[in-house]
Structure 1
Amino acid sequence: MKRRNWKSAQPSSIRQALEWSLEYAKERHNLSVERIAERMGLANHWALYKWASEGRMPAVSIPAFEHVCGINLVSRWLASTGSKLLIDMPTGRGCSASDMQELQAALHTATGALLAFYNGTADADATLAAIQTGLEGLAWHRGNVQQHAHPQLELGEPHE
């Protein structure tokens, strides 16, 4: 089974965002649903199962859920449904060759997805996800260049 590229994962529904977040927590942090619920301070882990199956989670629980899981897929989905881009805060630090290669790959994938979509061989959800990833990458680099004159300290762990 091919591993998912979590940096470019763009869920197409809230249910998918919740399910992928749970998958990420299991894959990367070996967290079960019960342990996630416990770390969120939920008295009953069945509530988390219910939220994921129904695609409904109280908005006040989203930050804790994403923090425990270690990925912000729900916020990404919320931003995209509001026609907004969600990017990590640019720090103004220099970029490596691998950072530029990731951007180039994302833009190449977006262009390929557009070509396939207009040829009728790709669906709209996959195309939109590829475009969203490319736009977010460009927006981050734009902000990083703007912030370059005033670099920030890198505090905490970066999200994938």
Structure 2
Amino acid sequence: MSRRNWKRLQPSSLRHALELCKDYAKEKHNLSVERIAERMGLADHWTLYKWIQNGRMPICLVRAYEAVCGINYATRWLAASGGYLLIDMPTGRNASAEDIQVLQQTLNDAVGLLLQFHAGKGQEADTLAALQQGLEGLAWHHRNIERHLQPELELNP
């Protein structure tokens, strides 16, 4: 079984986003739905199962859910469905050669899928996801260069 590339996944609906968060929490942090619900402070884990199944969760609990799961797919989907890009806040640090290679590969994949789509051979959802990821990568580097003159300290413990 191959491992998922979590950074490249783009949710196609809010339900899909909630499921991806749950799957990420299970794979990366070994958290079951019961443990996620407990850490969110929910009295009943069946409520969380219901929210994931029907793709409807109170908006005030989305951030708590994502914080427990360790990834922000629901927020990404909400931004994308409103026509916005969600970009991690850059700190103004120097980009490594690996960072630039990842960006180059992302853009190469996006252009390849775009060519396939216009040739009638590509899938719309895959093409849109790749283009969004490429735009987010470019926007991150754009903001990182702007912030380069005023770098911030990383406060991760």
Which residue of the partner structure matches residue 152 of structure 1?
152
Counterpart check, 1:29 vs 2:29: yes
Unaligned runs of 5+ in 1: none
Describe the superposition over 1:69-106 as per-residue Cα deviations: whole angstroms up to 9, x where unpaired: 00000011001011100010010001111111110111
Which residue of the partner structure matches residue 123 of structure 2?
123
Offset at 1:2?
A: 2.1
Offset at 1:9?
A: 1.1
TM-score normalized by the length of structure 1? 0.95
Describe the superposition over 1:88-137 as per-residue Cα deviations: whole angstroms up to 9, x where unpaired: 00100011111111101110110011011111222111110000000000
Unaligned runs of 5+ in 2: none
Describe the superposition over 1:7-57 as per-residue Cα deviations: whole angstroms up to 9, x where unpaired: 121111111101111000000000000000000111101111001100101
Which residue of the partner structure matches residue 63 of structure 2?
63
Question: Which amino acid letter does the alignment assign opposite residue 88 of structure 1?
Answer: D
Q: What is the rounded CA distance, in whole Å, between the counterparts of 1:108 and 1:62 in structure 2?
A: 33
Runs of 4+ in 1 over 3 A off after TM superposition: none
1:63-142 to structure 2, matched below 5 A, reads 63-142=63-142
Question: Which amino acid letter does the alignment assign opposite residue 18 of structure 1?
Answer: L
- Point out which structure has higher relative CO (alpha carbons under 8 A, 6+ apart): 1
TM-score normalized by the length of structure 2? 0.97
Identity %: 61
1:11-22 to structure 2, matched below 5 A, reads 11-22=11-22
Between Structure 1 and Structure 2, how many residues are aligned? 157
Q: What is the rounded CA distance, in whole Å, between the counterparts of 2:142 and 2:152 in structure 1?
A: 15
Q: What is the rounded CA distance, in whole Å, between the counterparts of 2:107 and 2:155 in structure 1?
A: 28
Q: What is the rounded CA distance, in whole Å, between the counterparts of 2:156 and 2:39 in structure 1?
A: 19
